[in-house]
Every structure is written in C-alpha cells, then in structure tokens.
C-alpha cells in the first residue's frame, strides 16, 4: 500500500527521519518512523536507493507533498565528489510503503 495515500500526517525530522501517522488494515491510526539514511544514498550529487547516509553530504533538506496526489518528495542540495552542490529530489513513494500501519522500505 502506498504510504502517502493512507497517511493522516507525514513529516521529516532531523533531515532524515520520515515520521507518519498511518492507517492500518483495521482503519486505526498509528505513528511510524523510518530512517531514510538507512535506505537512501548520494551517488555523486544524485539521490539513489539502496544507498545510505545521504544526509552526510546534503544541505537544505526539505520534504513536501506535491501535486494533486500529494506525492511525497524529498529535496536537497547534494554534494558530488568535488564538493559541488547539485539540486536533487526523490519520490519517496517509489520504495516506501505502508505495511499494516508501519513505514517499510520495499
């Protein structure tokens, strides 16, 4: 299940902790967190899945729900190997889901 479609509230804490209040299979709401540093990395100035610790080389980290469907998008200025910053974004719903009220990486 797409986590953002079943979320009552979503926010980003400390630039890397995704926190959401999600509905479970019974329709009850529960809070869940997921450390994005465990799943997203920086590949020479670009976000990439199955990496890690993107925050260590990022600035201006923001999170917002965008468009009519409220797509959850993480944005940051990511530094490449030369230290130059590149604007980057990643759609969190591509790999993060809701498993019975819990944020999970797919």
Per-residue pLDDT tens digits for 8-44: 899 999 999 999 999 999 999 999 999 999 999 999 9
Q: What is the CATH classification number for the domain harbouring 25? A: 2.30.60.10
Per-residue pLDDT tens digits for 68-84: 999 999 999 999 999 99
Q: Please tell me the total count of domains within the chain.
A: 1
Q: What residues contact 61, with CB distance under 8 A and at least 6 apart?
A: 12, 15, 16, 55, 74, 75, 76
At residue 54, the 3 state secondary structure works out as: helix
pLDDT-derived band at 2 (thresholds 50, 70, 90) equals confident
Give me the domain span that covers residue 30: 4-98
Q: Would residue 104 count as lying in a domain? A: no
Q: Would residue 41 count as lying in a domain? A: yes
40 or 51, higher pLDDT: 40
Alpha-carbon separation of residue 105 from 33, 77, 102 (angstroms): 11, 23, 10
d(CA 46, CA 96): 18
Q: Return the number of other C-beta atoms located less than 10 Å from residue 79's C-beta.
A: 17
């Amino acid at each position: 299940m797409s986590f953002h479609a079943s979320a009552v509230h979503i926010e980003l804490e400390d630039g890397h902790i995704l926190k959401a209040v999600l509905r479970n299979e019974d329709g009850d709401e529960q809070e869940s967190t997921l450390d994005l540093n465990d799943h997203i990395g920086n590949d020479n100035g670009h976000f990439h899945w199955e990496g890690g610790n993107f925050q260590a080389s990022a600035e201006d980290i923001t999170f917002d729900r965008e468009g009519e469907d409220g797509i959850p998008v993480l944005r940051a200025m990511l530094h490449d190997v030369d230290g130059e910053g590149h604007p980057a974004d990643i759609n969190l719903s591509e790999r993060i889901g809701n498993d019975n009220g819990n944020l999970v990486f797919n």
